[in-house]
Amino acid sequence: MKTRERFSGLQRAILWALMGCVLLAALSLGANRPVSWTLLSVAILIVFVAQVFVDSTQRLPKQAGGLWLPAALFLGATVWGGIQLLPGLPASYTHPVWTTLGDVSGRISADPGQGHQIIMRYLCYAMVFWVAFRAAVATARAEMMLRALALASTAFAIYGIYAMAAGHNPVLGDDGQASVVTSTFVNRNSYATYAVFGLLANIAAYLHVVSGTRVNSENWQSFLRDMLERFFGGIWIYALGALLCLGALSLTQSRAGGIAGLVGLCVFLVSWKGEGRRWNPWLLLVVAAVVGFVILTSATGMTNRILTAEAGSGRFLIYPEVVKAIMDRPVLGHGLGAFHDVFRQHVPAEAAIGEWVRAHNSYLENAFELGVPAAAAFYLALLIITLHIHRGTVIRRRNRAFPCFALAAIATAATHSLFDFSLQIPAIAALFAVILAMGWAQSFPTRKPRAGRTVHNPVSPEPASTEPEAEAITE
């Protein structure tokens, strides 16, 4: 028993080290500089080694069994990215840029230097996923992760709003955009994704606490009193956090971020209701009040940008050219990280006023760099995880906030990736890996039911039931 308690304490220490690395990475411009993402990768490697040590002393949980297929697909795409960097491959595989330069040791990738760094980041995200998954298997630790994410995102929202109001961002310095909220990120679109994750995390934390408290009284006056006692007893901080994150999101004036946030919020509400469950009027009322407040007070800039968006904006001009460049090397790809240099020759004259470092569509950019087969494997891995998490929102009766939150975050990221590159920011990608791991670990069916008892919970969207409760899965 003492050995088990000792390793349980070590697992909590590893969890806090992981969350510290992932959340603090946002302070350094989202770890969007080589020195930042290198330090993040080294720190995560140390945490991962500690996790492997703990795993070597214990039997892996059954939730790990289904990870082999998405892990194989993800690592397969990453290995292919590494093969693209190797010299001495047949001339028919060599990228044309090497022939132009007269280099006989050409590679598939047109920019191996960038490729090495991206592979390092991909492996870092995989390690983040595993450590977060091992921690989130226990519901108590999953709760710690969710609450830490919610509180940290609220702090970043407060900082972003303060920096905009003060007209100066101490983290960004002169590079900051004083008229919009960017928090500690390099641009408003990237922070918009982070703000949506924070909004969803606060809502999930609030609902997890409320739905986990059972109220036996059918008297609505008593129910309302109990609700207010719980609200002012501490969970108000999550309601306030959701309001602040939503306000910060609207003040980014990010069109794609606003649309992605709306999609994520809708997915959360629909998955929380679930099949055969009643809508929770309290949840709908709170969401309507918060959204209405933001629309009336701070969303004017975002609304104007959405209404004045031009169909011929730069990114829509380059998308067809990206597709053409993909078809130049549909199987081999141009190499991880090679988009910036290779795409220069494909930029249409109408869009040449800007420097296209990114494709502003992560799906197209990955197909451009990895090739279609490897990119398909990469996204198939994410799709398998998504389908599993969606199943968790359907089959779970307890702790449903975790899979609902993860599914909503996936919907947000998938939507925003159609127009921007938020998941290519290391701090956001690492946080997304944590969310995926939490959702996966908490999406498995519960154990065999215990002896039943009558349950009534007006807070929960589920009707009163005399079915036996299931025990939550723990390690």
Q: Mean pLDDT for the chain? A: 83
Cα separation of the two ends of the chain? 14
> The tokens of 156 are what?
């970043």
Strand partners, 169: 173
The model carries a pTM of: 0.87
Partners of 213 in the β-ladder: none
Q: What is the pLDDT of residues 412-437, one digit of tens each?
A: 999 999 999 999 999 999 999 999 99
Report the C-alpha gap between 461 and 278 in whole angstroms.
5
d(CA 375, CA 331): 10
Q: Name the band, by pLDDT with cuts 50, 70 and 90, for residue 209.
A: confident
Picking from 386, 418, 340, 373, the residue whose alpha carbon sits closest to that of residue 77 is 373
Contact, 146 vs 438, CB < 8 A? yes
Determine the Cα angle at 279 with ends 277 and 284, to 5°.
Answer: 155
Percent above pLDDT 70 for the chain: 77
Note the pLDDT tens digit of each residue in 68-93.
Answer: 999 999 999 999 999 999 988 888 88
pLDDT at 449: 46
Are 137 and 199 in contact by the 8 Å Cβ rule? The answer is no
Instruction: Round to whole Å and give the CA distance between 249 and 190.
Output: 11
Question: Is the predicted pLDDT of residue 384 greater than 50, yes or no?
Answer: yes
Q: Which two tokens stand for residue 19?
A: 């969350």
The whole-number pLDDT of residue 397 equals 82
Q: How far is the CA of 450 from the CAs of 104, 170, 214, 309, in angstroms?
A: 69, 55, 17, 56
Q: Angle 186-427-17 (CA atoms, 0-180°, nearest 5)?
A: 140
- Measured between alpha carbons, how far is 412 from 435 in angstroms, rounded to an integer? 12
Q: Is the dihedral of CA 61, 74, 424, 196 positive or negative?
A: negative
In whole angstroms, give the CA distance from residue 328 to residue 336.
16
Give the angle subtended at the CA of 93 by the CAs of 91 and 97, to the nearest 5°.
80
Provide the β-strand partners of residue 173: 169
Backbone φ/ψ region at 469: left (φ over 0), alpha (ψ -120 to 50), beta: beta
Report yes or no: 449 and 470 within 8 Å, Cβ to Cβ.
yes
| Cα–Cα distance measured from residue 364 to residue 118, given in angstroms and rounded to the nearest whole number | 16
User: What's the DSSP call for residue 455?
Assistant: B
Cα-to-chain-centroid distance, residue 437: 10
User: What's the CA gap between 72 and 61, in Å, rounded?
Assistant: 19
Q: What is the mean pLDDT of residues 210-236?
A: 61
Question: CB–CB of 180/253 below 8 Å?
Answer: yes
Confidence at 459, pLDDT banded by 50, 70, 90: very low
Whether residue 306 has pLDDT greater than 70: no
pLDDT tens-place string over residues 29-41: 899 999 999 999 9
pLDDT score recorded for residue 457: 39
